[in-house]
Structure 1
Amino acid sequence: MKAKVVAVKGVCNAGHEVGDTFPLSCRYPGPLCGYFFHDLFPRISVLQHGGCYPWWREGQTEFEYHCPDRVNQVSLVIEVQEEDEV
């Protein structure tokens, strides 16, 4: 998967800035802080192992997710790529 920072509200203590991109998987949290990765892990685990969500549109390959820190919130767009399945 590939993550892209699309918004930062306040100051992220992990240093994320709009436009940052990085790889992401169940085994590699990238530069995410532990709180964000812990919150996101169940979602990427489903997707990395070939699952999907019933509310996704046909062919959808990305979703937006937000950091649990509501004061200094980071928003990511996470793109699922074909090679992501384990």
Structure 2
Amino acid sequence: RWDFGDGSEFAVSASDTVGHSYSCSDAGNVYTVRVEITDDLGIVSIGSSEFDVSDSCSSPTAIDRLPEPDSPNKIFLPLIEGN
């Protein structure tokens, strides 16, 4: 479950990637992006990272990858790219 910190609905994905767009009115703001992963054993891992929305509002946002399901006790911090 993904929370992009901007009041939008949570995103749920079983994929290694998820997309999200901030509006141009969000430019210049800093948001805390959070992800919650539950493995097959019910163990939950939570990670977060701050993301500064570009003033130009033209750079894409990319989240690199999710934690491996066979290593539930590792801490996950998403890699967020953009200007």
User: TM-score normalised to the size of structure 1?
Assistant: 0.30
Task: Point out the structure with the larger helix share.
Answer: 1
User: Which of the pair has more CA radius of gyration?
Assistant: 2
Please state which structure has a larger fraction of its residues in strand.
2
The one of the two structures with greater contact order (alpha-carbon pairs below 8 A, sep at least 6) is 1
